[in-house]
Amino acid sequence: MKRDFIPINIALLTISDTRTSDNDTSGKILRERVVAENHLIADQKIVIDDIYQVRAVVSSWIANPDIQAVITTGGTGLTGRDGTPEAVEVLLDKEIAGFGELFRQISFQDIKTSTIQSRAIGGVANGTFIFCLPGSSGACKTAWDDILKQQFDARHRPCNFVDLMPRLLEK
């Protein structure tokens, strides 16, 4: 049975104290890859490394029924300013533990044991998929090219996130 491609609305958030729209390489990479796969950019923002600002933006996108997925980049490291997982985890209805595990497994091929410094996470909140990626352009390429691209494609078998979208809010 041939399956049709279904474009989804994806919001992108860069978390950084130093990035602007001019030098946000990771945000640009994600945008280019999302658009190249014929998905739609629902919104794109940059906020500083502040858990409350991150949480406010992600919360507004979770509340928007027109946004099916949120991808953040930055703030997943170990420094005192890195708080993206803490900002987002409290919003999740369900964690997708396999995302972070698979991301680190794939990253190990390129950056070896440095991958343990990544706290990449994924989950679902109010029917919206959320993925928090490291701020490096390489990490964004890895996450999109090796995981998210396939999972956001309704034609991917044996299963994908798009097939789950109508059922995420079931009680």
pLDDT digits (tens, 9 = 90+) for 41-67: 999 999 999 999 999 999 999 999 999
pLDDT at residue number 33: 98
What is the secondary structure of 57-101 as a DSSP string?
Answer: HHHHHHH-TT--EEEEES--SSSTT--HHHHHHTT-SEE-HHHHH
Question: Who has greater pLDDT, 169 or 141?
Answer: 141
Query: 93-121, pLDDT tens digit by residue?
Result: 999 999 999 999 999 999 999 889 999 99
pLDDT at 149 over 90: yes
Check residue 44 and give its pLDDT: 98
pLDDT-derived band at 162, boundaries 50, 70, 90: very high
- Cβ burial of 11 (10 Å; 0-12, 13-18, 19+) is buried
Question: What is the SS3 assignment for 52?
Answer: helix
Q: What pLDDT score does 89 carry? A: 98
Q: Can you list the domains of the chain with their CATH numbers?
A: 9-165 (3.40.980.10)
Q: What pLDDT is attached to residue 171?
A: 81
pTM: 0.97
